[in-house]
Each structure stands twice: as C-alpha cells, then as structure tokens.
Structure 1
Amino acid sequence: MNQMIFITGADRGLGLALTKDFLDRGDIVFAGQFMEDWNELAELKLLHQEHLFLIPLDVSDPESVMAAYHLVEEKTDKIDILINNAGISGSIGDITCLENIERGMQIFQTNCLGPLCMVNTFLPLMMKENTTKRLCFISSEAGSISVCHREDGFVYPMSKAGLNMVVKLLFADLREQGFTFRLYNPGWMRSYMSGKKSVVGKIEPEESSKVAIDYFTKTLKHEDVLKMLDNNNMVWPF
C-alpha cells in the first residue's frame, strides 16, 4: 500500500535522494522545497505527476510550516512518515565571532526548533487511524556529546545535540500514542551543507539514502528503545 511521506529539505543532497527512493517504492511524497530556483525537484515532478507534490517550506519560519500544512491538508487526510531532513551548517570560529550570532540563531532555528515545529504542526495529519505514525530525524555524529571530535564550527554540533534532545522528549511524550521514532546519522556525505556540492566526504547522499529508507520503513523489534543508527547500521551514543 502506498504511504504518504513528507520530507523537509528535499531540494538536493540526502533529501532529494530520499525523495527519489520513496517514489521508486511507489509512495506518495510531499517534498519540502526551500529553493524554488533549484530545478531538480521540478524536473522530478515531471516524471511523477501523480505521486510527487512540491510544498514551499522554510522550517525555520512557523508561518511557512503552517502554510505547508494547509497545502498538504488539501491533498491528503494523513501523513504516515515525517522525515525531518532540512539542515544548515556552521563555520570555523562561529561561536567566537559575535558578528555571527544571527547565523548561529538561524542554525538553531533550522536544525533544532524547525523539526519540533514540524512535528507539532503536522500531528493532526499523523494522528488519524491507520497511519504509520513514524517520526524520522536526520542527526549527526556532531550531535553526540560523548564522541563528538570537532574542534571548530561549534554551533552546528550544538544544534544537533539540541535536536537529539528534542527527539528524546518527543519520544517520551508521543510513544504511548503509537508513534515510532527513527534517529539517523547519515555519515560523512558529499552533500550541500555548506551551500555547494562538497568534494570531500566518504559517501554520496544516494548511498546513505538506501540505508535510511530501510531504517525508516521497517518495523523494529524494540520500538520502545530510542537509538541513533548510522549509515553502516551501527548504534551511536547521543
């Protein structure tokens, strides 16, 4: 049976790869589109007219999130899987340069508070009967307090650690209502986190997406345990 999937930050990188993989499965995808001038989603829409819907979305803006909710509500009465993928990175020295404080706040708003806003806003579409009720979050090794090895670009790890706490609290609040959770560390991808395609990294977003799709869609033996898996199916402390 086709599932209804919402993916934030679907323009490129992991978000776009996830969109393509879910479409290949036959699912219906609502793709959060942040960059209207980035044409890959529009090109994909031409190939999947009935299964792909482009939804303008800035997760850092609650009004944009609410507008996205209303657009989705016009097309479906439920969402099975919500994938909070949208994210932005920091820069070297970003915690020591006061002129970068607004950028730091934007990182937190997007990476940490944005997913919380998405969940709270889209809950009505996920509380319906016969929905999968699955909440997925793209985290990072940088958000693991015990193993984070980074020495610069402090705001990004702080925002991902904050995201992990958001997921922990949502897990405690919503699990008894039938929600299941997926926290995923996609690995060091050659993605667009810095604004342009990275030439460094160990894997392509398409490789990480294959692992993520399996993790996001299968039923786990112990759904009452929250854990973070990486692209090698290894468990990370967070």
Structure 2
Amino acid sequence: MTDMKIALVTGANKGIGYEIAAGLGTLGHRVGVGARDEQRRTDAVEKLRAAGVDAFGVPLDVTDDASATAAASLIEQRFGRLDVLVNNAGITGGVPQEPSLVDPATIRAVVETNVIGVVRVTNAMLPLLRRSPSPRIVNMSSSVGSLTRQSGPGGTTTTGPVAVAYAPSKTFLNAVTLQYAREFAGTGILINMACPGFVATDLNGFRGVRTPAQGAATAVRLATLPDDGPTGGFFEDAGEIPW
C-alpha cells in the first residue's frame, strides 16, 4: 500500500495520453503507463522517470479481456487500489468514413476500442477504484461526439469531417459514461468526459492546432476533482460541452 495516489492512463505511451500521465505525475501521482507495445511503453516510462515522474509500465490491450484482467491484477498486487483511471486509448478507424462508403468492419473495430474497451477496462479496475477514498474516472471523448455541435439548423454538419465510425463512437461513449454516473451516484466515484480539442497527434496526421500538453489539461483537472466536483459531465477547456 502507498499513500501516493495511483493513476492508470490507457494509451499513455505517446501524444495526449503521455501528457496526461506527465501532468498527473507532476502533481505527485504514481502513474501507470498503459500500452500494448512493450518497447513504446518502456520508452515512455523511462522518459517520464527522467522528468521526475514516478511511472511504471502496465501491459494493456483494451480490446482484450485477459489483458484488462491482468492489468488489474498487476495494480492490485503492487498497490492494492487505484485512485484515478483515465480511459484515453482510442482509434479513428481511418478513411473513408462516409456512411455510404464505410466498411461496417471499420465501425465495429472503432466501437470495440473506443467504447467497449472503455467498459472492459473500467469494469476490470472498479474493485480497485472502490478501495480509493476519492476515486476518479475520466473518459477521453471529443466535441465531434456532441449531437448539438454535429447538427445545426436543418441538420447541417458544423463540426469536423463526416466520420460515421469515429464521431458516433464518441457519442456512444458519452452515453455510456452517463450510465456509469447514474450507477455511481452516491458512491464517491466521479466520472466525467474530457475533450482535448484539435490536438496535433499521429491520430490526425499532426493536423491539429493544439499541443498534446494543452489537450491533456482538461483530463488532468477532471482526474483531480475535489469530492464535491461534478460527475457525468462533458468538458473542454472553455467549460461544459453541449450534448
């Protein structure tokens, strides 16, 4: 057991996930770097440690039940609990994603990672989170998951390209997060969604206008909310995002 807060960030070997891990580490959390690729995971842990973060590697494929169970067992054996879970791992599914052109298998793969993967990891970690005095869960969403922002007067698309796999996966994730918030009401577990904004990462070919560190800020804030903080909310830097 340790007095330090223990955090796990999925997809933390690069980009926004790495910066979330770095931000939590700077605040004094001991941070698990969840990632599938062993070398990238090891490199990220070494880089974080060199920057003064108490980081450790967690082998984790969010699409695999056994991997999620093994990750929970690793954390339980080392620390006995988990204080913060940030579900950051995600995929876009590539292109094309016009509804009339997309391969249904693309939609299935994106939902498996972006939605079912979040449920899989969250449920695996719940027994550990329930042992924390102030458990926090942050699901990384996107403003393209907002139905309000996606449709203007007459149904005109107003946010992002047509992406029938990626954008609806975030809408689905938002809805799932709300169901968790309802279940967790009164338990002390706060669960919220964070939008990083249009961040330059390999996920979008580095076309974004924000840095990964800027994209991580909202998630770090939600991961460290006080006990009277919000739950079941959808946030970006500027505040709440309309549904």
Return the TM-score normalized by structure 1.
Answer: 0.88
After superposition, give the CA deviation of every residue in 1:140-174 in whole Å (9 maximum; x if it has no partner): 01111121234422100111111001101000011
Q: What is the identity, as a one-letter code, of the residue corresponding to 2:210?
A: I
After superposition, give the CA deviation of every residue in 1:152-202 in whole Å (9 maximum; x if it has no partner): 2210011111100110100001122221122111100001224xxx33212
Query: Any conservation in 2 of the 1:7–1:85 contact (CA below 8 Å)?
Result: yes
| SS class of match (1:146) | helix
Structure 1 residue 42: Cα displacement: 4.0
- State the identity as a percent: 24
Query: What is the distance in 1 between the residues matched to 2:229 and 2:83?
Result: 20
Query: What is the distance in 2 between the residues matched to 1:180 and 1:56?
Result: 25
| SS class of match (2:121) | helix
Paired residues for 1:8-27 under 5 Å: 8-27=10-29
State which of 71, 75, 84 in structure 2 corresponds to 1:72.
75
Query: What is the distance in 2 between the residues matched to 1:12 and 1:86?
Result: 10
State which of 109, 114, 118 in structure 2 corresponds to 1:115.
118
Structure 1 residue 74: Cα displacement: 1.4
Q: What is the identity, as a one-letter code, of the residue corresponding to 2:215?
A: S
| SS class of match (2:139) | strand
2:62 aligned with 1:55: no
Structure 1 spans left out of the alignment, 5+ residues = none
Paired residues for 1:37-56 under 5 Å: 37-38=39-40, 40-44=43-47, 46-47=49-50, 51-56=54-59
Match of 2:214 in 1: 207
Query: Any conservation in 2 of the 1:12–1:40 contact (CA below 8 Å)?
Result: no
| SS class of match (2:122) | helix
Q: What is the identity, as a one-letter code, of the residue corresponding to 2:26?
A: D
2:239 aligned with 1:234: yes
Query: What is the distance in 2 between the residues matched to 1:121 and 1:201?
Result: 33
Structure 1 residue 33: Cα displacement: 1.3
Match of 1:6 in 2: 8
Q: How many residues align?
A: 231
Structure 1 residue 106: Cα displacement: 1.4
Query: What is the distance in 2 between the residues matched to 1:163 and 1:122?
Result: 17
Paired residues for 1:1-238 under 5 Å: 2-38=4-40, 40-44=43-47, 46-47=49-50, 51-94=54-97, 95-97=99-101, 100-128=103-131, 130-148=132-150, 149-194=159-204, 198-219=205-226, 221=228, 223=230, 226-230=232-236, 232-238=237-243
Q: What is the identity, as a one-letter code, of the residue corresponding to 1:57?
A: L
Structure 1 residue 36: Cα displacement: 2.3
Structure 2 spans left out of the alignment, 5+ residues = 151-158
Return the TM-score normalized by structure 2.
Answer: 0.86
RMSD, aligned α-carbons: 2.2
Query: What is the distance in 2 between the residues matched to 1:237 and 1:16?
Result: 27
Farther-moved stretch of structure 1 (148-157 vs 118-127) = 148-157
Query: What is the distance in 1 between the residues matched to 2:88 and 2:192?
Result: 12
Query: Any conservation in 2 of the 1:79–1:131 contact (CA below 8 Å)?
Result: no
Q: What is the identity, as a one-letter code, of the residue corresponding to 1:30?
A: G
| SS class of match (2:22) | helix
